[in-house]
Structure 1
Amino acid sequence: MEALISLLLVTMSSIFLSVSGSNLESFLQCLPQHVQPSNPISDVIFTQNHSNFQSVLNAYIKNRKFLIASTPKPLAILTAKHESHVQATVICAKQAGLELRIRSGGHDYDGLSYISTVPFVILDMFNLRSIDIDIANETAWVQAGATLGELYFKIANTSKVHAFPAGVCHSLGVGGHISGGGYGNLLRKYGISVDNVIDAQLVDVKGRILNRESMGEDLFWAIRGGGGASFGVILAWKIKLVAVPEKVTLFKVDKTLAQGATDVLYKWQYVAPKLPEELFIRVMILVPKEEKTVSPNDCHEMSWGQSTVFFLDSSQNVTSIDVLLQRPTEAKISFKAKSDYVKNVIPREGLEEIWKKMIDNENMFMQWNPYGGRMSEISESETAFPHRAGNLFLIQYYESWPEEGINATDLYTNKLRDFYDSMAPYVSSNPRNTYLNYRDLDIGISSNNQTSLKDAEVYGTKYFNGNFKKLVEVKTRFDPDNFFKNEQSIPPGNLN
């Protein structure tokens, strides 16, 4: 019986590879038929036998645990250099029966932008990175493959009194970051990224390039916070620039438990969401490797552009913002992340229990990001991003480890899961909300690579609350055959 089963598996594997090869051949033959000779596509196609395939694949994998040989690989990577390359990839992947994964920066925490368990291709957007700023109208068009660092650099070198509300990490790809919401340190003053988007370009399932007018307000609503990869390929965003002073002030104060950190954080929960909206005070909680004391020079004045560097790494003496232009290097660490929303103040006794659980886990940290201000003024249904009034702060949990191998991954991932479970009494419930851009497959996935409504409701309500129903309705109209999908995508309503 064992020999028969083994033979059956080998035979099935051979059929799978044969089908994949046939699909890939059909895909590759289709591509040139959908681009003009003036924009050849041949030099942006990397199949597995291409000498640069592995380096192109690894360049935008930000989590080292996915660099191992057993991680499923795409049949091909398309590094589009022209809009027609994106259109051709969508049309031909659908025609050839291949799944499409879309990558703009590679920060998808659980790798959904570059991993699949069925035959698939990656559409990598990193070459589409132009930024066109119109200071007179205080707007900018930003292509999906640009990084936040490149956007911040361009804004800072164009104007000393403009900014854009988005994330802290400079290597985030604009396309995916904004489509998931876009959370950063200007949110209390101006909301998140999607609150400052006024137009978009998207390639739909038919290969058409749509803007806000041609896609309609429902689809434009859905891609602002609902995850663009469920509905099409984001080509570019038109964003609204916001006003900032020529000089902003940043400070960093370290407190240990012996110095009263528990009392400070207890009071922070009451104060931080109610401060003037110009103030954003993030808390970073970690087990220190050495004792720290309060710096005598806590406050630093600098331009907004310099602040984007300082906020990410306050140990730097910021004299230049050129670091914003650095593209990614190979991932150095493995990690797992999760998130929670907090609606009620965590009591002192709860904080003390949290510290006890953290003491034995030096590889984990938490970020607590305050709400209030503009975030409490915007309706939950204004965009697909629902987490607005009623939240005191957002928690990000982040566990990292230097060791390689599946044993280390299991060990540290389970540590984080245990800690996350212990936080249940202190965070939102029914549903226990989480943030789409902190992608977490632990909270629910689709089965058999075919997203169903039943499966999607599990994670969909946690990410989107009541907006999930409307997202399904939009998906049903614009992608009824569910071409744009992943393990946590929005399904059309015709799937059971």
Structure 2
Amino acid sequence: MTDQSWSSSSRSRTRLGDPRLGRRLLGILDVSSVFEDIAFSCALNMACEILQLELGNMNLRLFGSPESFMDKQAHESDRLRQVIEKEMLKVEVWGFTLKGIAYSSTTTIFTNQGIDGFLECLAVNFDQYGKIEVYAPKDASYMKILQSAIRNDRFKSPETPKPLLIVTPRHESQVQATVNCSRKHGMQIRVRSGGHDFEGLSYTSPLLVPFVMIDLANLRAIDVDIEDNSAWVQAGATIGELYYRIAMESPIHGFPAGFVTSIGVGGHFSVGGYGAMMRKYGLAADNVVDARLVNVNGEILYRDTMGEDLFWAIRGGGASSFGVILAFKIKLVQVPPVLTVSKLTIKQGALEIIQRWQHIAIYEVPKELFIQVQISRTKFRRNLQAELQIMFLGPSEELMHIMEEKFPQLRIKKNDCMEMSWIESVLLFAEFPKTAPLDVLLNRTTERDIALKVKSDFVTTPLSKREFRKIFNKFLEEKQFVAVLSPWGGRMHEISDDEIAFPHRAGNMYAITYASLWSDEEGAQASQEHVKWVREMYNYMSPYVSKSPRASYIGIRDLDLGFYKINTTPTYSEARIWGGKYFKGNFDKLVKVKSEVDPSNFFGDDQSIPPMT
């Protein structure tokens, strides 16, 4: 709050517990003008009754008696300060809240009294937790913060349901306070670390349920311990920030996680997290050795205090169903000082090469070699483009020898191979410009504004050349899309299905991700057409992918698989529909863990693990 005149056009960020809160009201000589300004702000909102009445009473007491104004003002200020701190944010929040409840048509316990209690609860805990930054929809910074980590333009429209409040904790204790106050006053929460949930569930609610968003962007400390071959990384850090910090400490250490460097650690590690080193070292979640989590009681737990079942669940099962991840302790892996990378565009014989790739890349080459296929089409290119993306944890001469023996059809040449450090390969796979400095990995924003719909599958039996031709012809129906075929094998086949909650191990040859991409400027009708094509593509792929169940990766969230009905209690039978696809045989254990640690389903969303009722 600033000292400038208080008006709706000049509202700025408000901090609960800030001693300056209401200073304009307490120190001003003309209390009447302040009352009029606030009354105007909430003229259409009966929720401001308390504040209006209190200010009106103060006005009468100050000017309706012969006592000295200054003496009387001092007498009233302490009591009024309490009212203001409790009520002020309701001026900003309640109008939106009432609209949200009316719009959602839900029978929710979320009431004006709930907001009142929540804000009062945070304010009361000021001495213990410090200044907690809370943003309401009318705050100037609200939309900037909300959109800072919306990675899918499908959810930037004005119609998209938005948080009632955004809390941006700067200390882990403030996450505890937010959880405690939310639970106490019946407020649902969503937690965002990087914002890459493909259905936007960390910052929106398709079910139109009012919620508070905890944005963890300020909690991104990284402590690398090379001697211990480990690192603690807070949930709000991106994997790009983690990669950079590791590389700054050692040229021979790395970590096996994803390609998109703006992904948040909290979400990525908790759903699995795969990338170019998974055949050698497994998933990101396979290399998590400890965690720090806020549970439903607002307690901070470590592995030894949360128990092995909960620790199992938050590695691959999606931590948002069980608590708020604050940080992970990870085991660093060894990388050579120099490795080899190649990107080969297949200009001829793509069908034959990809058909051969299924056998070679999964079963015949060493686990140090990762060969991924990307098939794409843009609006500027009529035909499909197939590219092999290769990373080998070794020198180019050794890669050449392996490829000549195992995959001679590629005819890979020496000048196709680039030797570089592991951290340089991160930049290449993330498609940064060749001249980009390493510290570009510290940039949390993305340059591309794009809308997309994504789905995933797993292939368990090899496809024929004829089947690939039919699939490629189906791809040609979409103007702009990308399909990625990521090879399993190696370490991914050595780890059992139930070692952690991520179940997709031996028996899977490769994962397929397919996405349609478009600009939001194309309009609503075009958006519907793109989404329709992805759904049709998914249905078309049914004969060629896993069955009973048809598996999907929770890291590529897909609400088309199902979600809870509005105004109903989440049930096992509902959740089994999509939970069986995401978690296969591990779903029942996840339900058991949920029932033990969060039986009231406080940590719930549209596809969360349900407690057994």
**Shorter-chain TM-score range:** over 0.9
Q: What does 1:43-54 align with in structure 2 at a 5 Å threshold?
A: 44-54=133-143
Tell me what 2:492 maps to. Answer: 375
The equivalent of 1:485 in structure 2 is 604
Task: Find the counterpart in structure 1 of residue 457 from structure 2.
Answer: 340
1:326 to 443, 448, 463: 443
* Aligned with residue 472 of structure 2, among 349, 355, 368: 355
SS in 2 for 1:466: helix
RMSD of aligned residue pairs (Cα, Å) = 2.2
In the other structure, the counterpart of 2:93 is none
Alignment of 1:167-178 (within 5 A): 167-178=258-269
Question: SS at 1:156's partner residue?
Answer: helix
2:316 corresponds to 1:225: yes
Q: Find out whether 1:311 has 2:442 as its counterpart.
A: no
**Corresponding position of 2:512:** 395
Paired position in structure 2 for 1:442: 560
**Unaligned 5+ runs, structure 2:** 1-97, 388-411
Match of 1:5 in 2: none
Superposition map of 1:90-489 within 5 A: 90-116=179-205, 117-256=208-347, 259-274=348-363, 275-287=365-377, 289-290=380-381, 297-313=415-431, 316-318=433-435, 320-329=437-446, 332-404=449-521, 405-448=523-566, 450-489=569-608
1:251 and 1:32 map into 2 onto residues whose CA distance is 56
Answering whether residue 166 of structure 2 is matched by residue 77 of structure 1, we say yes
Letter in 1 for 2:537: F
Amino acid in structure 1 at the alignment position of 2:595: T
From 43, 55, 63, the counterpart of 2:144 = 55
* 2:393 aligned partner: none
- Match for residue 24 of structure 1? 115
Does the 8 Å contact 2:340/2:420 carry over to 1?
A: yes
Distance 1:416 1:20, change over 3 A: same
SS in 1 for 2:200: coil
C-alpha separation in 2, matches of 1:278 and 1:238: 24
**1:282-311 C-alpha deviation (Å, 9 max, x unpaired):** 100113644779997321111101110001
How many residue pairs get aligned? The number is 481
Equivalent pair of 1:306/1:318 in contact (CA under 8 Å): no
Question: Partner letter of residue 413 of structure 1?
Answer: V
Alpha-carbon distance, 1:33 to partner? 2.9
> Does the CA contact (< 8 Å) of 1:62 and 1:106 recur in 2?
yes
Residue 408 (structure 1) shift: 2.0
Query: Is the contact made by 1:370 and 1:394 (CA closer than 8 Å) also made in structure 2?
Result: yes
Could you state the TM-score of these two structures normalised by the residue count of structure 2? Answer: 0.76
CA distance in 1 between partners of 2:129 and 2:603 (Å): 28
For 2:588, the aligned partner's letter is K
Gaps of at least 5 residues in structure 1 are 1-8
Q: Tell whether the 8 Å contact from 1:20 to 1:119 is kept in structure 2 after alignment.
A: no
Report the Cα offset of residue 360 of structure 1: 2.3
SS at match of 2:232: strand
TM-score, normalised to structure 1's length? 0.93
Residue in structure 2 matched with residue 3 of structure 1 by the alignment: none
Percent identical residues = 47
Q: Hey, what does 2:17 align to over in structure 1?
A: none
Structure-1 separation of matches of 2:216 and 2:242? 15
Kindly state the Cα deviation for residue 49 of structure 1 after the two structures are TM-superposed: 2.1
CA distance in 1, matches of 2:237, 2:217: 7
CA contact (8 A) 2:293 2:324 kept: yes
Deviations 1:128-147 (A, max 9, x none): 00000000010000000000
Q: Which deviations, in whole Å up to 9, do the C-alpha atoms of 1:209-266 show, x marking residues without a partner? A: 000000000000000000000000000000000000001100000013xx10000000
Structure number with greater CO (CA < 8 Å, separation at least 6) is: 1
Give the whole-Å Cα distance in 1 for the aligned partners of 2:275 and 2:440. 19
Q: Which segment drifts farther, 171-180 or 321-330? A: 321-330
Alpha-carbon offset, residue 206 of structure 1: 0.3
In 1, the alpha carbon distance for the partners of 2:156 and 2:447 equals 9
User: Per-residue deviation at 1:464?
Assistant: 0.2
Greater alpha carbon shift after TM alignment, 396-405 vs 480-489: 396-405
Bigger Rg over Cα: 2
Is this contact kept in 2: 1:309–1:318, CA < 8 A? no
The answer to whether the 8 Å contact 1:306/1:320 transfers is no
Contact 1:367 1:395 in 2 (8 A): yes
Measure the CA separation in 1 of the matches of 2:360 and 2:511. Answer: 15
Q: How far did residue 47 of structure 1 move?
A: 1.2
1:348 Cα offset (Å) = 0.8
Distance 1:331 1:34 in 2: 40
Question: What is the rounded CA distance, in whole Å, between the counterparts of 1:493 and 1:328 in structure 2?
Answer: 39
CA deviation vs aligned residue, 1:380-433 (integer Å, no higher than 9, x gap): 000000000010000011111114333222110001111111011110011000
Contact 2:129/2:177 (<8 A) preserved: no
Residues in 1 aligned to 2:549 and 2:576: alpha-carbon distance in whole angstroms: 11
State how far apart, in whole Å, the 1-side matches of 2:311 and 2:270 are: 10
